[in-house]
Chains A and B, each alone.
Chain A
């Protein structure tokens, strides 16, 4: 009864499923990437050729560069705005705060495909609402998706809009956890609001901020839907970021060798972020 292994059978079904769907494909992917691939099945052993081909692919550096810019911009803007929103919502008090919170997470609970589609229709499309208002105001057609820079800016904007609700909720929980006495004591000592933010709020939010930063980085770095629905990667390749590239290689051009190699590289990049996440999550519990 009191064997050393008591209770372990309760986790077996969960781990069996995770092994089948999450863990073994990684090993299979590594194995698969070492072969030359034709018609979707591995033929002869190729060693690291797939990775070498990938590194010599002339389009890769530009794709990496775009992904880095997109992710850095989306994550930093989301964090700055969500921190301001969380502090604001906290000050609004319980009931009004909850209402604002609900409105803030609406884009987050809708799927990325649908949210991006509606955003595009209302704010971007030339015959959509914003486009029509611009025309009524006498402005020329602003074709934001035809210019590489504005298309990228729009991609960042949609990503911030879609994901900010998640960040606000996590940071709000953090802000609520800071005892009010700290701020009151600081006020009595004559601290300015900026000093309070800088010396009390920010340091005490370090863990949730880092957690949010990691999760946002992961989700922006891996988003397929946002560029797919908003821009289709265009104009040209201006908004073609890494995950879209992986998908096109695998399912449009059927270059499974380089797709697998690139997916694995992304996966190990994700693992690094996840390790940082685990350290923080462990610290939190």
Chain B
């Protein structure tokens, strides 16, 4: 881009007063700075994952060796075995069920709602939509909402059941899903529905046969963000269910911190097990996450 602008400046008859040798030094310096920044980012962001992975594969003697070894150790799965013996697979199964239910429920509720908000003009449409937009960041304040939520759910007898967490996760993710889909629906020409209606289709048929197929990318983006958000949720998960069989992975890992104490082998093993599904999702659908975030532009 700089070369381009310099060229542009020259063609406009302006002189660019940077001697060539000078410029070469400048670009070397820029290159070094960029490389340094890039390495710093890699160290800060990827090293914890890599080092956590290595730690999780080390047996007791290798773990406490000083100076620490990087590759020169005998990998063992004993940490994973201990975590699994503590029932972590059950927590993973619970999390997986909750997340699948949440993704399906959130998308099933969000698409019709987005359709109604974009294509119809019922009374209070605008204020109700603003309420949805307001609910997006509101669920970030889960800590503040959760005490009243806990009291209310206790009173209604809705805590500590298999549906408790999917219900809460879905409500937290739904506003964002509606917002992302509404944005996509705005881009689908209204003439398509009008033509179908003129041919005798019902509104539901329009939703089913025109809107649904065309909003697949938005469904994907909202689905991925919903999955990641629910898989990673901690606060509601730790408060709303009590029995070990219903406990999802995040509070389970937190309990391990108390249980295993300074035994970082099993701790990192449980962390790795929690990260793997997220990293797979990210590797396959990273672009969808980025586009969903950009469209939704909503959650921290």
Instruction: Write the residues of chain A forming the contact surface with B, with a CB cutoff of 8 angstroms.
Output: 4-11, 13-15, 17-18, 20-22, 24-26, 28-30, 32, 40, 88, 91-92, 100-107, 109-115, 117-119, 121-123, 125, 127-129, 132, 135-136, 161, 163, 166-167, 169-170, 173, 180, 183-184, 187-188, 208, 211, 214-216, 218-225, 228-229, 243, 246-247, 250-251, 256, 259-260, 263-264, 266-267, 269-271, 273-275, 277-278, 281-282, 284-285
In whole angstroms, what is the CA distance A115 to B275 when docked? Answer: 9
Chain B contacts with A in 160-202, Cβ cutoff 8 A = 167-168, 170-172, 174-175, 178, 183
Tell me the smallest distance from the CB of B207 to a CB of chain A, in Å.
8
B155 touching A28 by the CB < 8 A rule? yes
Contacts of B120 in A (CB 8 A): 6-8, 10
The 8 A-B pairs of least Cβ separation, nearest first, read: A29-B148, A7-B120, A219-B300, A21-B171, A111-B232, A10-B116, A243-B143, A266-B144
B151 touching A260 by the CB < 8 A rule? yes
Q: Closest chain A residue to B38 by CB distance?
A: A100
Q: Closest chain B residue to A167 by CB distance?
A: B300
**Interface check B97, CB cutoff 8 A:** no
In whole angstroms, what is the CA distance A208 to B296 when docked? Answer: 12
B47 touching A114 by the CB < 8 A rule? no
Find A224's partner among B122, B143, B231 (CB 8 Å cutoff). Answer: B143
Contacts of A5 in B (CB 8 A): 122-123
A211 touching B297 by the CB < 8 A rule? yes
In whole angstroms, what is the CA distance A111 to B279 when docked? Answer: 11
In whole angstroms, what is the CA distance A284 to B178 when docked? Answer: 16
- Among B60-68, B71-79, B81-89, the one that faces the other chain is B60-68
Tell me the smallest distance from the CB of A13 to a CB of chain B, in Å.
5
B45 touching A107 by the CB < 8 A rule? yes
B267 touching A117 by the CB < 8 A rule? yes
In whole angstroms, what is the CA distance A275 to B134 when docked? Answer: 7
In whole angstroms, what is the CA distance A184 to B3 when docked? Answer: 11
A28 touching B152 by the CB < 8 A rule? yes
A125 touching B45 by the CB < 8 A rule? no
Q: Closest chain B residue to A260 by CB distance?
A: B147
**Interface check B259, CB cutoff 8 A:** no
Q: Closest chain A residue to B294 by CB distance?
A: A173
In whole angstroms, what is the CA distance A225 to B235 when docked? Answer: 8
Contacts of B203 in A (CB 8 A): 6-7
In whole angstroms, what is the CA distance A106 to B145 when docked? Answer: 28
B167 touching A166 by the CB < 8 A rule? no
Contact with A along B265-282 (1 / 0, CB 8 A): 001100100110010001
Find A184's partner among B5, B128, B271, B299 (CB 8 Å cutoff). Answer: B5
Q: Which of A224, A259, A263, A275 has the most CB of B within 10 A?
A: A263
In whole angstroms, what is the CA distance A32 to B150 when docked? Answer: 12
Contacts of B48 in A (CB 8 A): 107, 115, 118-119, 121-123
**Interface check B289, CB cutoff 8 A:** yes
Contact with A along B27-44 (1 / 0, CB 8 A): 000000010011001101
